[in-house]
Amino acid sequence: MKFYRTIEIKSNILSKTTCDICGKDTNEKEIITLIDRVEDWHDHSESYKVTRETYDFCGKCYKEKLKEFLNILGAKATVISETDD
Ligand SMILES: [Zn+2]
């Protein structure tokens, strides 16, 4: 026979996202997230560490600030078009 008991499980859920430039709450459809993934291999062992840094931007800051800055640096976007046909 199995006996069960009820336990409380706590979990972190995303409650809101704010823009990392202006600080305003940003809805999920508008948010632009950049993820930088860095792998760090340790020379004398087989272990490694993966670090992820994320940046979240509202559409306005992305278009008016970040994209402008990237253009000044000479960055060229990869453009992929999609249709809903
Ligand atoms: Zn913003």
Residue 85 belongs to a domain: no
Spatial separation of the C-alpha atoms in residues 65 and 35, rounded to whole Å: 18
Residue 81 belongs to a domain: no
Residue 67 belongs to a domain: yes
What pLDDT shows up at residue 55? 93
Rounded to the nearest angstrom, the distance between the alpha carbon of 7 and the centre of ligand 1 is: 40
- The four Cα atoms 84, 33, 30, 23 give a dihedral, to 10 degrees, of 180
What is the tally of structural domains in the chain?
1
Residues with CB under 5 A from ligand 1 (ion): 19, 21-22, 58, 61
Grade residue 84 by pLDDT with cuts at 50, 70 and 90.
confident
Residue 49 belongs to a domain: yes
- Domain interval for residue 49: 16-74
pTM score above 0.85: no
* C-alpha distance across the termini of the chain, in Å: 57
What pLDDT shows up at residue 70? 93
Residue 61 belongs to a domain: yes
Residue 29 belongs to a domain: yes
Structure confidence by residue, pLDDT tens digits, 15-74 = 999 999 999 998 888 888 988 887 777 666 677 788 889 999 999 999 999 999 999 999
